[in-house]
Structures are given as C-alpha cells and as structure tokens.
Amino acid sequence: MDNEQTAQVAGGTGAARPGTRRPGGRTARTRAAVRDAVLTGLTEHGYSGLTVEYVAEHSGVHKTTLYRRWGGVDGLVADTLDLAGEDSWTPPDTGSLHGDLHALALEVVHSFADPATAAPSSAVIAAAFQSEPAAQALRAYYAERFTRCEVIVDRAVARGELPGPRSAIDGGALVRAAAAPLFFRLFITREGLDEPAADQAVAVALAAAHAGTFTRST
C-alpha cells in the first residue's frame, strides 16, 4: 500500500457514512479539498487536535456544511480513508510469486522511507487507535486491498508455484504474512524499514505458503 493511497481514506459496509457518495464535479472537488485538510490536520496536530473548525479553515468549506455532510471529526477521518478504496491500484505482476510479494513489500518500504510522505499515512493509522469509525474504515481499506491481491495467488497456482485448488488457499492471509512484519517494525518496535527487512518478510511468507500454512481448513 502506498502512502498516497493510504492517505485518501474512509470506508465501511452497510449504510453509507456521511460524505461517502461518489459524485463528480464540484462535489468531488469539495470532498478532495476536505480530505487534504483532514490529512494536513492529522499530520500537524494528530487526531486529538483535529477540529471541524480547522478543516473548514483549510478546505474553504463552511463548518455547517462539514457537520451536515460528515457529522464531525470521526466522519471526516473515515471518509478520508474511504477515498483510498476508490483508486485504480493493482498489485504487481512480475511473473513469479516471489517477485510479486517482494514488489508489494518494497512498496511498503518505499512508501514510508520519506518522512514527508510517510507522515499522513502514519497519522491516519494513529487515528484508528483513537476513533472506532476510523478503525472500521481502516479495516475496510485493508480488506479491500487484500481482495485485490488475491490475483497474486491465482497466478501462482496457475503457474504451479502453489498447489491447487485455488479455492483452498487463503490469499489474503499470505499477503498479510508478507506485510505484517514490516508494519510491526514501523508501528510497534519503531525500527524503521529497509530492503533486507522486506526480503526476510517475503522469505518467511513464501516458506509458510509452500508448507501449506495458508490452506483453508475444510
């Protein structure tokens, strides 16, 4: 997941959240301006310091409109996350399972390598620890990303790199296994990332896949 995608967020299932319609034109521009203001506010002040007044001032959208369409700070943060799911990102296709997982891992490494671009994504993730609507939106964002990554496993089975049938393999779990150690280093141990960390995470995930760890129980 790259930072620009993470930084565009809000999601969820069931009833639509305030502000989560997908219109174009002026309304889309308004939503983008609000998103940018939310990201700037989260980066500068954190979730606890973000206010509707701040978003109104920096987006040019009147606060009564923000309250009417988004309901408050939680709705604003959630919709910012939801925007991430509206992009056209697709997982890499390198010709091998190892190559695909490695390219995904490097996306994480490179996304957080530059503090200037890492800050908005980190701020959004931090907000999910303080706001349940933001946490729900973040889970929805990653669930959608993992669904897109299922094609990686489809291709691996078709090439004979993983045993079939395809339906028996939990592709989301495999991709999680390759990415999880990187996010652990980023947000738990605060070690930072480099390419050797990505190599190690991918090697462990591949070994587990070949051992049948991600086979769904019947």
Confidence of residue 200 (pLDDT cuts 50, 70, 90): very high
pLDDT of residue 57: 97
- Could you give the angle at the alpha carbon of 143 between the alpha carbons of 157 and 140, nearest 5°? 165
% of the chain exceeding 90 in pLDDT: 70
Give the list of residues 6+ apart from residue 211 with CB closer than 8 angstroms, or none.
Answer: none
pLDDT tier, 155 (very low <50, low <70, confident <90, very high otherwise): very high
Euclidean distance between CA atoms 163 and 158, whole angstroms: 9
d(CA 78, CA 173) in angstroms, rounded, equals 25
* pLDDT for 28: 85
* Mean pLDDT of the 53-80 span: 95
Q: How does pLDDT run across 127-141, given as a tens digit for each residue?
A: 999 999 999 999 998
Task: Give the DSSP letter of residue 208.
Answer: H
The amino acid present at 74, given as its one-letter code, is D
Q: Is the pLDDT of residue 18 over 70?
A: no
Nearest-angstrom CA–CA distance, 123 and 110: 17
Evaluate if pTM is beyond 0.85.
no
Is the pLDDT at 20 greater than 70? The verdict is no
End-to-end C-alpha distance for the chain, whole angstroms: 31
Q: Please report which confidence band the pLDDT of residue 183 belongs to, taking 50, 70 and 90 as the band edges.
A: very high
* φ and ψ of 165, to 5 deg: -75, 160
Would you give the distance in Å from CA 214 to the centre of its chain?
Answer: 22
- Phi first, then psi, for residue 215 (nearest 5°) are -75, 130
Q: What local confidence, expressed as pLDDT, does residue 114 receive?
A: 85
Element (H, E) at 54: helix 52-59
Cα Rg of the chain, angstroms:
19
| Residue range 177-183: mean pLDDT, rounded | 96
Local structure of residue 146 (DSSP, 8 states): H
| pLDDT for 218 | 61
